[in-house]
Structure 1
Amino acid sequence: MTQTESPAAGRGNSTDHVRRHNLATVLTLAHRSQGISRSQLTRVTGLNRSTVAALVGELVERRLVLEVDADVQGQVGRPSPIVKPDPLAVAIAINPEIDAITIAVVGLGGTVLKRIRYATDHEPTAREAVNICAAVIEGLRGELETGHRVVGIGVAVPGLVRSLDGVVRLAPHLGWVDEPLAEMLAEATGYSVVAGNDARLGTLAESTFGAGRDLSDFIYLNGGASGIGGGLIAGSQALTGAAGYAGEFGHTLVNSMGTVCHCGGVGCLETEVTRAPLLALVGLTDADSDELENALVASESADVRAEVHRQLDFLAVALRNAINTLNPQTILLGGFLGSLYAVAPAHLNALVAHQPLRASREGVSIGRAALGSNLLMIGAAELAFEAVLGDPATF
């Protein structure tokens, strides 16, 4: 497994020839904290106050951060101004699924400013998805170009995406094989495009802004219309695999007598734990994860409860394998997996408390992803923001 460290990681340096590194350090801290005082920047980076002031001033000029007065209530002395990411510096985030394509405008600091869910009546081809996205983005262009600065597009794909060039090697539920999605979107929109696996980007979002923010070792599992995926943070670093394909927990074997999966295997987690029967049982045909959860929690149907328990039983098998293999401190559940857990948390907790090896399961907690239905939008935007965070001087 490989991991590339962000160029903005670590402490700053006050010499002139690393000004770009220092700009990246300050912008990344402001972005991830969603607001940090100048005095804190001085302390964290190790740079002197005048250097930090100059760096912040340059980022303000580049319209990447704002300086605002601190809340002085209850404070003694002159407060340090707060450096906040400028929400008008935005990325366009896209998540194609089998039943809808979601497009959002996300500001620096992980703020979702607008979200559009374009429902489809069939699994879109890659070209159809590109055409839909291009049309929606064109409709937003006037608004974006008058008030915002677009850094690029990030795409969260439910499948295997080659990190080098954004080619979708396989998105089985969508039927996409070796589709040059990033290239096609760039040609159609005129913006730079970066694509990645949806669950890995959900992991990135949760570790930056959500429930994994203060965790050094956790597994994130996401359930969506196009199946189940995941990501892993180990030692505070994301593990992505040699080509970016790590985290396909949806294809963990959980039932050797199960049905054939899209991938060609038998009894995969995502053939047993699926969203469609849950929607049917609560009388929904089209819903995001928040709407489905509300319906499941409110239901008093014995059939709903039985199906939830059945799916959690298989989820527990996958979690047992993950805990024994990876030894996380926490497992975070997002999408409809979080909804299943919301309905019967004690059921899953009891299974996980007994199935893995005792030493591995000790101290492991199960929690919910905190970013809700905005999670993949924030994760896709993080992918687009990587270039400007790494070198703000180019923006």
Structure 2
Amino acid sequence: MLTLLHRGAQPRSQLTAQTGLNRSTIAALVTELTELGLAYESEPDPTRQVGRPSPMVNADARTVAIAVNPEVDAITIGVVGLDGALLKRIRYETEVSPTVAEFVKITSVIIESLRGEYESAGRVIGIGVAVPGLVRVDDGLVRWAPHLLWRDEPVSQLLTAATGYPVWTANDASVGAFAEHIYGAARGIDDLIYLNGGASGIGGGIISDGRPLTGRAGYAGEFGHVRVENGAAEKGTREEGSLETEVNRADLLQAVGLTNADAETLDAALRESTDPAVSALVRRQLLSLGTSLRNAVNVLNPEVIVLGGFLASIFLTDPDFLIERVRSQALEASFEGVKILPAQLGADLLMIGAAELAFAALLDDPTTL
């Protein structure tokens, strides 16, 4: 099942070779997955000309997960097929940051409107929630989401009670790192750092030796709270001089004359702007981002750094500048071979990553859901 989820459709003969199981066992497993609504077979790949044609085994996109990402200005809900494709995305804008109760109410109403369409055609296996904050890895408790002002909130339990679906909750940047590792710019890379820039600040996710690096309780990767401006340290606050105060979306929106916009709209506005003030702001933010990435390179020695959200947008205004900034500050040996790349999955990234929280249960036992 893992092979179909993360590598796409595979010839049955290739599954036999990869697993070491015999053909009859693979045939029986494919039949079972088909009966569970998790896979189906299609005609052999016409590009494979050598040997006996083998049917293609595909993940069944009629089995879906709901993905949810709350931010300070909107709640985004998506439907993701078992093949990793985003089938639908709904952005519900909010005038103020939603409370947990408001989030659960809005989200459950939208999910209810989707239920009939996707359950009639297939099956909804559950909900994955990507939260911009500290999420305890053991049980998904949101310990502290500073921009949303959520503290010790059992989001999974509340949303399960409201929708009837099982719910898994995790940090947004952590699921983004996993999505880029499996499907995106860092596909096949075992040591990577992902930084996400959104309305609720900057978060990070780390994949080390092919596995998520979460720390003892799941709070690793909070690059947004690392200080990059020493001059503010004497003020004694947690946030002054941190990466997400020096590099933030609100300043960019104001500079281009927007009040609330999705990632694609802000990205287009930055690319199209000819205002010197916008260019100067982007350059200042890239300088601070470069300092943070230099520290990350020296501490974690990644192979790839992936930037998502508005961080990808400012990076793409002048990629060479940021790369040179990091190269000139990092230890020479640590920076050897490091690539800095924009997230490949774009605005779909957190939806795909959150859905993986729900799909992960299928990998343990496809018969449980």
Under a length normalisation based on structure 2, what TM-score does the superposition of the two structures give? 0.97
Moved more, 176-185 or 280-289: 280-289
Q: 2:213 — aligned with what? A: 239
Q: Cα distance, 1:145 vs. partner?
A: 2.0
Q: 1:278 — aligned with what? A: 252
Q: 2:270 — aligned with what? A: 296
> Residue by residue, what CA displacement relative to the aligned partner does 1:245-264 show, whole Å, maximum 9, x if unpaired?
11101111101224999x83
Q: Any idea what SS the aligned residue of 2:216 has?
A: coil
C-alpha distance in 2 between matches for 1:128 and 1:102? 14
Matched, 1:388 2:362: yes
Matched, 1:328 2:328: no
Matched, 1:86 2:86: no
Give yes or no for contact 1:253–1:268 (8 Å, CA) kept in 2: yes
| Coordinate RMSD, CA, aligned | 1.6
> Residue by residue, what CA displacement relative to the aligned partner does 1:90-130 show, whole Å, maximum 9, x if unpaired?
11100000000000111112111111000000000011000
Q: Cα distance, 1:393 vs. partner?
A: 2.1
- The letter for the 1-side match of 2:148 is L
Matched, 1:134 2:124: no
Q: Cα distance, 1:359 vs. partner?
A: 1.3
C-alpha distance in 2 between matches for 1:291 and 1:260? 37
Matched, 1:341 2:324: no
Given candidates 72, 81, 85, the residue that maps to 1:98 is 72
Give yes or no for contact 1:33–1:109 (8 Å, CA) kept in 2: no
Q: How does 1:134-173 map to 2 (within 5 A)?
A: 134-173=108-147
> Residue by residue, what CA displacement relative to the aligned partner does 1:330-369 show, whole Å, maximum 9, x if unpaired?
1110110000111111110110110011111121111111
Given candidates 315, 326, 348, the residue that maps to 1:352 is 326
C-alpha distance in 2 between matches for 1:93 and 1:252? 28
Q: Any idea what SS the aligned residue of 1:220 has?
A: strand
> Residue by residue, what CA displacement relative to the aligned partner does 1:134-163 show, whole Å, maximum 9, x if unpaired?
110111122122112011110000000112
Give yes or no for contact 2:74–2:91 (8 Å, CA) kept in 1: yes
Give yes or no for contact 1:87–1:107 (8 Å, CA) kept in 2: yes
- Judging changes above 3 Å, is the alpha-carbon distance between structure 1 residues 308 and 260 closer, same or farther for their aligned structure 2 residues? farther
- The letter for the 2-side match of 1:91 is A
C-alpha distance in 1 between matches for 2:321 and 2:187? 26
Q: Cα distance, 1:76 vs. partner?
A: 4.2
Given candidates 190, 196, 199, the residue that maps to 2:173 is 199
Give yes or no for contact 1:166–1:183 (8 Å, CA) kept in 2: no
Q: Cα distance, 1:195 vs. partner?
A: 0.2
C-alpha distance in 2 between matches for 1:254 and 1:122? 29
C-alpha distance in 2 between matches for 1:198 and 1:73? 39
Given candidates 194, 198, 203, the residue that maps to 1:229 is 203
Moved more, 112-121 or 208-217: 208-217
C-alpha distance in 2 between matches for 1:384 and 1:173? 25
Give yes or no for contact 2:45–2:55 (8 Å, CA) kept in 1: no
- Judging changes above 3 Å, is the alpha-carbon distance between structure 1 residues 69 and 259 closer, same or farther for their aligned structure 2 residues? farther
Give yes or no for contact 2:307–2:343 (8 Å, CA) kept in 1: yes
Q: 1:115 — aligned with what? A: 89
C-alpha distance in 1 between matches for 2:85 and 2:234? 40
Q: How does 1:237-276 map to 2 (within 5 A)?
A: 237-258=211-232, 264-276=238-250
Give yes or no for contact 1:95–1:157 (8 Å, CA) kept in 2: yes
Q: Any idea what SS the aligned residue of 1:319 has?
A: helix
Q: Percent identity?
A: 56
Q: 2:338 — aligned with what? A: 364
Give yes or no for contact 1:166–1:194 (8 Å, CA) kept in 2: yes
Q: How does 1:34-113 map to 2 (within 5 A)?
A: 34-73=8-47, 75-113=49-87
- The gaps in structure 1 that reach 5 residues or longer are 1-26
Given candidates 269, 275, 288, the residue that maps to 1:314 is 288
- The letter for the 2-side match of 1:48 is N
> Residue by residue, what CA displacement relative to the aligned partner does 1:43-102 show, whole Å, maximum 9, x if unpaired?
111111111111011101111011111331572443211111100111110000000000
- The letter for the 2-side match of 1:54 is A
Moved more, 135-144 or 267-276: 135-144
Q: Cα distance, 1:320 vs. partner?
A: 0.9
Give yes or no for contact 1:256–1:266 (8 Å, CA) kept in 2: no
- The letter for the 2-side match of 1:343 is T
Give yes or no for contact 1:239–1:246 (8 Å, CA) kept in 2: yes
- The letter for the 2-side match of 1:108 is L
- The gaps in structure 2 that reach 5 residues or longer are none
Q: Any idea what SS the aligned residue of 2:68 has?
A: strand
Q: Any idea what SS the aligned residue of 2:367 has?
A: helix
- The letter for the 1-side match of 2:281 is E
- The letter for the 2-side match of 1:197 is N
Moved more, 138-147 or 100-109: 138-147
Give yes or no for contact 1:338–1:368 (8 Å, CA) kept in 2: yes
Given candidates 161, 174, 190, the residue that maps to 2:148 is 174
Under a length normalisation based on structure 1, what TM-score does the superposition of the two structures give? 0.90
